[in-house]
Chain A
């Protein structure tokens, strides 16, 4: 039996396997150049209309079902889970984005999961991962319902995206990240998508793009009068307290 390795030796083994894989020549198509072009052109004839149709669709790709092994201990299934729908799209600092959302009901508690798609990937949260057992590593539906703001580091554009779903009264969002701060509008989510996805009526959304890989510890949503509606610390949102709400 081999002796236990030091951490550096474990990393060396992993690094050697990775480097070997990286140096492996990529598989090349056996089609000659002109044939490849012809195949691409033919494929475009079929693919382009499909892509155009998909771009206009309300229905977003549903996340793959979560395997039971990945569910937290004491997981509870929502009594109702809506479809994943595209609620907004746009372009920020030259990068196109698309936001989808879904809603899950756990008895009287409603959780909304938001997911951002950008050319460099995507990130967000699903709404069907609640656990009924506090302290077991999962989150209760009540906690899940407070997670309205998400972040995603986009390695392609080297940007940190902050995004989320907001109540109907929200008009402006202040995003505070390490060393920087931006203010963006809270835009109304697509009305048809809200209906089809059974999302909260009047739901608004925001998307902000920040340069580099940043932590986003604080997001504040304000109403039309500038009053604080919602304070989100580390992605967990709550109405401000009466005493110390404005900041």
Chain B
């Protein structure tokens, strides 16, 4: 039976070198905040190190290791979005302070994540929507109304409101898929 190789500090450091850039882009595109994204990268890997003995895959399997770390990253991101700030417990336990970024560094990370293109692509896709779809998407997504309320505001049936929102979101989905994490890998 093949023996799986355990995850140690060197193997995790190699994974960091391979995947951290992708994770940074992933966080930046979801938080629109480059400093928060750097903090989240640090917290994710700090937690991964604390949990390394529980990684059940083969540490030489870079895909399995990346999926495991990204799973931790998703938890870290969800916590941050819920709390409105980065959680740094594992970083603190490791005694690591994430780098503080100046204005120019923030801009460079935003460029790496193509935030400008993302914003303009979404704005462009929104502008290209028919008025009725744009209104429905705005009410549902920006104002967070439920479909019954969207329907009431627009004077249409709930089914029609769902259809408008669905079609509108499908139309702008391409913009969100733009230059993704895969393209950020060196």
A interface list, Cβ under 8 A from B: 4-8, 10-11, 13-15, 17-19, 21-24, 66, 69-72, 120-121, 123, 125-126, 129, 134-135, 137, 139-140, 142-143, 146, 152-153, 155-158, 160, 212-213, 238, 241, 243-244
Secondary structure type dominating chain B contacts: helix
Quick check: B49 and A22 within 8 Å, CB to CB?
yes
Write out, one digit per residue, whether chain B residues 79-98 have a CB within 8 A of any chain A CB (1) or not (0).
Answer: 10011110000000011111
- Is A15 a contact of B20 with CB atoms below 8 Å? yes
The answer for the CA separation of A24 and B112 in the assembled complex, in Å, is 32
For residue A174, give the distance in angstroms from its CB to the closest CB of chain B. Answer: 20
Report how many A-B pairs have Cβ atoms within 8 Å. 128
**Chain A residues positioned under 8 Å from B71 (CB to CB):** 153, 155, 158, 160, 212-213
Question: Could you tell me the distance between the alpha carbons of A217 and B57 in the complex, rounded to whole angstroms?
Answer: 26
A19 to B97, CA, bound (A): 13
Q: How far is the CB of B1 from chain A (nearest CB, A)?
A: 19
How close is B56's CB to chain A, nearest CB, in angstroms? 6
Query: What's the Cα separation between A213 and B78 when bound, in Å?
Result: 14
Q: How many residues of B contact A (CB 8 A)?
A: 56
Contact of B146 among A4, A23, A146, A157 (CB under 8 A): A146
B45, CB-defined interface residue at 8 Å: yes
CA distance A113 to B1 in the complex (A): 45
Is there contact, CB below 8 Å, between A241 and B159? yes
If the complex has contacts A10-B109, A11-B20, A11-B41, are A241 and B147 also in contact, measured as CB distance less than 8 A?
yes
B36 on the A face (CB < 8 A): no
Selected contact of A125 from candidates B12, B68, B82, CB within 8 Å = B82
